[in-house]
Structure 1
Amino acid sequence: MASVSPIPADPLAALADTECQRLAARLAQDAFAAVFRMAVAPDSDVEAGALGELAGRCSNWSQAGADDDARALRLALLVNGLDAWGLAYTQAFQLTAIPALTALLGGLRTRLDAAADARFQQQFARIAEVEFAAVDFKVELRRSIHLALWHAMSACETAEQAEGLVRPLGSLLLGLNEQMPELGWRLIADALASIQISLLADPAASAIAQEGTRQLFAALRHALPGERHQAILAHSGRAVVAWQQARRARDAEGRIDA
């Protein structure tokens, strides 16, 4: 992979611009965090009210789109994001299900009439089937998921616990390479850069975090084709260098101001 081809135009950008897509990813993350807390500490009375309120917020944001197609896309982005978070966490933490997530997703769909549901399914399929459809959403979403699992691994108390999260995180990254031939490797590079930046930003990172990261990088090196792995390292390396340069510039500016 001697050169990096430019990212094709996003076919959904006219319906949801970059900021809208990134906001959808953040809303999906916040909504998933809420339902995951319900799974960890279930309380049926509290859960019913909280789920209704959460579904209402998601629905209201979706309905703020400019037209029917934009509204359908907003909902499809949220559902896609919630699905991705749910799949990642059920695999990483060996869960059979997250009932509150299932209820939330069902509640969002049951609000739609037949025509709205058809538009939703069309937009949902485009996100899933076209690699660069909603590309800003996919980058923001995957970065958040990968970093969340990495932070969970870093917080483990034992090496065995950490290894139990390194494996599903590695599988998740390798799956992107298989599912998305053009975008997947870029998402892996983004994940590796984000992880390296997190370590560089925290000199006190635990030995478990550092060892888990080493294991993750080694597993990817062995599993990925050599040329693809080198392209990922080059891409992530440029992002890390850019972050380091920006930090040094901020530090220098701070010293001058002082």
Structure 2
Amino acid sequence: MNDTPIPVDPLARLASPEVQRQAAHIVQEAFARVFRLAVGEAGADAGDELARIEAALRQWVAAADDEPARALRLALLLSGLDQWGLAYTQAFGLVGIPALSRLLGTLRTGLDAKAEARFLIQFEALEVDECAAQDFKVELRRHLHLALWHAMIASDNREDALAVLAQLGGMMLALIRALPTLGWRLVADALAHIQIQCLSEGLAAEGLAQETTLALFASLRQALPREDHDRIMAHAARALLAWQQARRAN
């Protein structure tokens, strides 16, 4: 873990922090719609719904100012959708999400050689530099972690809840290891928002929901070196304190 200041985002010139956060929200909404298709909620309208999702994503990509910015927007969408899909297939024991696979494929269909090359450059930049598109990564992971936590505490089946707990805890630990500068901050942010929702909405106050939430915090404490764990919890505590102060001020 690295507690040095976060470097300047090298992709901010192509996608502002606001655009990056917007991308994360668009990904979350698109995945939710695709996942509903996977569980059969759309019925006979599934093909039309997938086409509408694709059209909306393409429209957002096309709204960028130039070709490199459009390539980055597409890379953000595909990277984000892939992360949501991987997390959900592992957490819920799915073989795959066919509608998501089709969407990811069709979004790249039609790219000519130059557009494909621009896309690959931006996609690689996201993967290689952990601080590239950092606002996107923070927003994406916050909502992904919270979505899994909500699924965990909503379950009344112990086996299912524990499976999501294992996936969520494993994701957080993997993130810390993979992103030495940004990863632990993303985990601290998620833990702070879990605590905020517990306090503001009275969630996970009893029963299996409380048990698994406490187990999540305990598993991180056990798995991490004490210094690293203390740094994460101190960062989360500062975010929680800032929320409490803002709430009192209002």
TM normalised by structure 2 equals: 0.96
Q: Deviations over 1:204-257 (max 9, x none)?
A: 64422221110000000111111111110100000001111111111xxxxxxx
Counting only pairs closer than 5 Å after superposition, residues 22-41 of structure 1 correspond to structure 2 as 22-41=21-40
Q: 1:228 corresponds to which residue? A: 228
> Any idea what SS the aligned residue of 2:8 has?
coil
Which amino acid in 1 is paired with 2:125? Answer: R
In 2: Cα distance, 1:136 partner to 1:6 partner: 15
Q: Deviations over 1:112-160 (max 9, x none)?
A: 1111011001101100110100000000000000000000111111333
Deviates more, 1:57-66 or 1:201-210: 201-210
Which amino acid in 2 is paired with 1:242? Answer: A
Structure 1's 65 and 214: CA in aligned 2 closer, same or farther, altered over 3 A? same
Q: 2:156 corresponds to which residue? A: 157
Deviates more, 1:109-118 or 1:73-82: 109-118
Q: Which has the higher contact order (CA 8 A, sep 6+)?
A: 2
Kept in 2, the 8 Å contact 1:76–1:124? The answer is yes
Counting only pairs closer than 5 Å after superposition, residues 202-221 of structure 1 correspond to structure 2 as 202-203=201-202, 205-207=204-206, 208-221=208-221
Kept in 1, the 8 Å contact 2:185–2:235? The answer is yes
Q: 1:255 corresponds to which residue? A: none
Kept in 2, the 8 Å contact 1:188–1:232? The answer is yes
Kept in 1, the 8 Å contact 2:204–2:213? The answer is no
Number of residues paired by the alignment? 249
In 2: Cα distance, 1:78 partner to 1:68 partner: 15
Which amino acid in 1 is paired with 2:77? Answer: L
Counting only pairs closer than 5 Å after superposition, residues 96-245 of structure 1 correspond to structure 2 as 96-203=95-202, 205-207=204-206, 208-245=208-245
Deviates more, 1:161-170 or 1:20-29: 161-170
Q: 1:52 corresponds to which residue? A: 51
In 2: Cα distance, 1:67 partner to 1:45 partner: 38
Q: Deviations over 1:86-122 (max 9, x none)?
A: 0110110011100000000001000311110110011
Q: CA RMSD in A?
A: 1.5
Point out where structure 2 has 5 or more consecutive residues left out of the alignment.
none
Kept in 2, the 8 Å contact 1:72–1:119? The answer is yes
- TM superposition shift of 1:162: 1.7
Kept in 2, the 8 Å contact 1:154–1:206? The answer is no
Kept in 2, the 8 Å contact 1:189–1:235? The answer is yes
- TM superposition shift of 1:45: 4.2
In 1: Cα distance, 2:21 partner to 2:191 partner: 20
Q: 2:75 corresponds to which residue? A: 76
Kept in 1, the 8 Å contact 2:198–2:205? The answer is no
The runs of 4+ residues in structure 1 deviating greater than 4 Å are 42-45
Kept in 2, the 8 Å contact 1:166–1:216? The answer is yes
TM normalised by structure 1 equals: 0.93
Kept in 2, the 8 Å contact 1:170–1:216? The answer is yes
Kept in 2, the 8 Å contact 1:22–1:136? The answer is yes
* The structure with more radius of gyration: 1
- TM superposition shift of 1:203: 2.5
Structure 1's 185 and 111: CA in aligned 2 closer, same or farther, altered over 3 A? same
> Any idea what SS the aligned residue of 1:71 has?
helix
> Any idea what SS the aligned residue of 1:58 has?
helix
Q: 1:254 corresponds to which residue? A: none
In 2: Cα distance, 1:100 partner to 1:42 partner: 12
